[in-house]
């Protein structure tokens, strides 16, 4: 089973993906994590995307599609969870082609709905917690980048809601509920 978790930054996609990895042996494909890893290890690609990511803008479709393509070639285990990908219509089309090429299907798209105010709150807390735990906050977890990230979501990613609705893949769930309740809603969708 291959699924997409769709929602704005701070909606809880990563948390739910982590639970699906544990419970269903699925593989989490987070383009954000892959890009951050490239940034940290200082690869050419990492250097290229660093500033764009820190500002909160989207990196090019070509780069993220390339990252996903590499991952689809490996072991598929219980299926893929696309977390933070696709984020544009071009990426969604590319994903459909890549899945078709490897004989896979897209089984569900789960939209996690949350209010902007809650998002801002969650992200500010995420940054504080990271620092309190002795780590560093994400470079893009600040008020200015968050504004840009939300704008990118509404302009470039939210059109995917209509796209997947038209394809008959979309289920929207309440992302404001507790993590356990959201997990139960996800489980209902996946059956």
Which positions touch ligand AMP (CB under 6 A)? 9, 31-32, 35, 52-53, 56-59, 64, 84-85, 87, 91, 140, 149
152 vs 182, beta carbon nearer ligand AMP? 152
8 Å CB contact between 112 and 175: yes
110 vs 184, beta carbon nearer ligand AMP? 110
Annotated catalytic residue 87 = yes
8 Å CB contact between 79 and 23: no
8 Å CB contact between 95 and 43: no
Least CB distance from residue 191 to ligand AMP, whole Å? Answer: 26
Least CB distance from residue 25 to ligand AMP, whole Å? Answer: 22
Catalytic residue (one of 138, 147, 155, 167): 138
12 vs 84, beta carbon nearer ligand AMP? 84
97 vs 188, beta carbon nearer ligand AMP? 97
Annotated catalytic residue 122 = no
Number of separate helices (H) and strands (E) present in the chain = 9, 5
8 Å CB contact between 44 and 52: no
Least CB distance from residue 8 to ligand AMP, whole Å? Answer: 9
What does the DSSP 8-state code read for residue 157? I
**CA 54 → CA 37, 88, 116, 145, 149, distances in Å?**
14, 19, 20, 7, 10
Annotated catalytic residue 36 = no
Annotated catalytic residue 138 = yes
Active site residues: 13, 87, 126, 138, 149
């Amino acid at each position: 089973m291959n699924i997409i978790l769709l929602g704005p930054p701070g909606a809880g996609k990563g948390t739910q993906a982590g639970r699906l990895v544990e419970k269903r042996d699925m593989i989490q494909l987070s383009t954000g994590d892959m890009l951050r890893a490239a940034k940290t290890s200082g690869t050419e690609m990492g250097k290229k995307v660093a500033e764009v990511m820190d500002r909160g803008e989207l990196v090019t479709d070509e780069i993220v599609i390339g990252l996903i393509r590499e991952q689809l070639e490996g072991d598929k285990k219980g299926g893929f969870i696309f977390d933070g990908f696709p984020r544009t219509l071009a990426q969604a089309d590319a994903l459909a082609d890549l899945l078709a090429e490897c004989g896979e299907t897209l089984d569900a798209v789960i939209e996690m709905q949350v209010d902007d105010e809650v998002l801002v709150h969650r992200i500010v807390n995420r940054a504080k917690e990271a620092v309190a735990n002795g780590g560093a906050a994400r470079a893009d977890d600040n008020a200015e980048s968050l504004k840009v990230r939300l704008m990118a979501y509404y302009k470039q990613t939210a059109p995917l809601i209509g796209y997947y609705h038209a394809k008959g893949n979309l289920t929207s769930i309440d992302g404001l509920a507790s993590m356990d309740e959201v997990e139960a809603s996800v489980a209902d969708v996946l059956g």
